[in-house]
Amino acid sequence: MLDRLEFLLNEAFVSLRRNKWITFAAITTSAMALFIIGGFAFAYFGLASFAGNQESKFDINVFARTDASPEQVQALGKRLEKLDGVKQVTFRSKAEVWKEFQTENPEISSGLEIENPMPDTFNITFSDLKKAKDIVAYARKMPEVAPKDGVQYMGDVQALIEQVMSAIRWLGLVLGTVMLATGGILIYNTIRLTMVARKKEMRIMELVGATRQTVWTPLMIEGVAEGVMGALLATAVLWIAHSVVAKLLETSLSVIKVGEFPLLLTTIVLCLSGAVYGLVCSYLAIRERPTEELPR
Alpha-carbon span 245 to 48, nearest angstrom: 17
Distance, CA of 253 to CA of 141 (rounded, Å): 39
How do residues 50-73 score in pLDDT, each as one tens digit?
666 655 566 788 888 888 888 888
Task: Quick: pLDDT tens for 36-48.
Answer: 878 877 777 776 6
pLDDT at site 291: 44
- Provide the pLDDT for residue 294: 42
Can you give the length of the chain in residues? 296
Contact 52, 44 (CB under 8 A): no
Lowest-pLDDT range, 62-66, 83-87, 109-113? 109-113
Helical H runs in 54-155?
70-81, 94-104, 106-109, 132-140
Domain boundaries along the sequence of the chain? 2-53+159-287, 59-154
pLDDT digits (tens, 9 = 90+) for 160-218: 767 776 777 787 777 777 777 777 777 777 777 767 766 666 677 667 766 667 777 77
pLDDT the model gives residue 137 = 85
Cβ atoms of residues 62 and 136 within 8 Å: no
Residue range 59-154, CATH number: 3.30.70.3040
Residue type, 139: A
pLDDT at 232: 92
Query: Nearest 5°: CA angle at 72, between 67 and 78?
Result: 140
Q: With contact defined as beta carbons under 8 Å apart, do 160 and 251 qualify?
A: no
Q: Is a pLDDT exceeding 60 seen at residue 290?
A: no
Beta-strand ranges (E) seen in the chain are 59-63, 86-92, 121-126, 151-153
Packing angle of the helix pair 2-18, 20-53 (nearest 10 deg): 100
